[in-house]
Structure 1
Amino acid sequence: MKKVRLLYICEAMGGGVRRHLLDIIENIDLGSYDIHLIYGKNRADKIFLNSLPSLKQKGIYLYELKELDREISLKKDSKALIKIIKIINSINPDIVHCHSSKAGALGRAAAYLCGVKNIIYTPHAYMAQSPNLSHKKMKFYVGLEKLFSKITKVTINVSEGERQFALQNGIVTTNNSTVIYNGISIKDKYKKIRKNNRIIIGTVARLSEQKDPITFYNIAKNIVSKYDSVDFRYVGDGPFYEILKNKIEKDNLQKRIQLVGFKNNISDELAEFDIFITTSLYEGMPYALIEALSEGLPIVGTNVTGNNEIIFENINGYLFNIKDVNGAVQILEFLINNPEKIKSLGEQSYKIYIEKFTIEKMIEKLEKTYEQFRRR
């Protein structure tokens, strides 16, 4: 059977989006697909850059576009669009699959102009979902998504909440959208071995406005002032790193609230945690939470899209409203004072992971979506 020529386009080659694409490439049937990848380098993280030699060795065709950048620039975006069009014309792909907002706009426009019939889009959380946007900006981003949806064969949302947002705002229909959860490779069942009596509460997230690290800090500061046996860790880097570092140093809490920085292998960090916390303002389907499930951790998180399809109230964790420091503190105090609850919630997390969030399930559903277009 002839291979399907599949072109991925992505500007945001870092964090969860990078993880998603690399996991697909590592696990998809390369005997059935010729994989091409157009990527932007400006936001590519170390993990992606270090993976380039192995991707080439696997036979993946790579195209780096320095003009493919997050910021809106008529000059850069025009150059990127022209280059993407040239690449598409040289490849003649059967499917173009665009990931995240910027590639979703430029990539879909280029594919349409080149006459590609099968255009797929995965937003990884819509910009319009941000609660910090003004009503005017929210409407602008929704309008753009509606426009590009007209040339999109199918939108793959990574959570049901993300899809419902798109349906409610007229971005997609039930006929041209589907949900495929992110998944990670199955691990051996977690073995939580406590080294001492200290409780570690932590998160893995980019230090950005979306992840709301200031609320994380305010929660942590409140808890450590009351409990000598509890410490906090934040794994990740980003624009808020220095801001958070200065707050911690100003309050002399370096030993109790630790900024770990970027780590290649977050499993090693999660193995040290007793409770996972997330303070995100909005999400698609966060990989860090799926990793937390796989490590058998109870999760305390904001009640936003994505999070609320991973965290089930009083089953494997608890939800609180965005920026609700007091609500999060009350939940954490309950868990700190009830260690048996930490254990039982964690056991349920691992069960949920096995049932819903394995890489095998993700790839199976994705290949079924692609196969629709092979037959056509």
Structure 2
Amino acid sequence: MINLKDYGIEMWDTEKIASFRRTLLNWYDNEKRDLPWRRTKNPYHIWVSEIMLQQTQVVTVIPYYERFLEWFPTVEDLANAPEEKLLKAWEGLGYYSRVRNMQKAAQEIMEKFDGIFPNNHKDILSLKGIGPYTAGAISSIAFGLAEPAVDGNVMRVMARLFEINYDIGDPKNRKIFQAIMEILIDPERPGDFNQALMDLGTDIESAKNPRPDESPIRFFSAAYLHGTYDKYPIKLPKKKPKPVQIQAFVIRNSDGDFLLEKNLDGRLLGGFWSFPIIQTDFIAQQLDLFEKKDGNLQIISQKDLFEKDYQLTPTWTNQHFAQVKHTFSHQKWTIELTEGLVKNDKFTSEKELRWVPENQLSQYPMATPQKKMLKEYLGK
């Protein structure tokens, strides 16, 4: 374990640590939120909740959590789930690698642990998609192991408690907060201790509009006592998402069915169905929009590219649609919709395409950008 003094942090004595634990847990016993995953010690259920809660608010997660366990009640059910049903269960939560990694981890549990969720920190941490925070949460909550669960909320609380002058957004600084938590965590109630800090960090000690005067641990907080609360935690700004221009093609056949394409696995939104899309930013234009004809360069339109790639020849309409915008963690999409109608709807392209009636669209897993495109097109 690192020496905290090397980072300018003076750890409390044993009596103060014990007092801190009592104060925090007394508050938690009186104020803890009643959440469905807190009514169980089932490690599978706790795991599902913790993965869903990454990057997603509690109020959003609850119905997803309940439906997910209804569809996949056991680790074995998750391990054997068809991809489309799995993605449908996660549809709208985003960060879809989370659920893919969950299925891989479930398959590891079936193969390496005879279908029984491992009950020690090392084995839990070895599973696909489970990092130190999630392993700590499952270990402490499901199995009562004194393992810290250090996420952004916990680091924020710790930064204020000890006036930590290190960026909480820099992964290499996580070890500082981990070392503090290994000392502070209550060995008798580690799960409740971790969850108490989670609750505190998401509400009273939140990143925006915190209420320090209401914090049960304010008199332990160096930042509160020294009047430096606004300075902590230190967090440098993230890079802004890269803007990306997207052309989407809303193609319908003579029956009014929509053309959907399944995105390739391994790509952004892999496995989900959407209207055919082409990236149209500057670099893509330089690479894709010119071809030689009779020795001369000729500009190819986006519509020409579609016809060439999809082996379909739509009649293009002049219908105008508002731009659709969607922001991922690393990209900010601006999507233009173009409508086309086809009479000959036979596929010769090797892409995975399907004609889908409007009343069956809900049966296909669709990511949020596609849902936004549908809403704009249908005016719903």
Which TM-score applies when normalising by structure 2? Answer: 0.23
More strand by share: 1
Larger radius of gyration: 2
Which TM-score applies when normalising by structure 1? Answer: 0.23
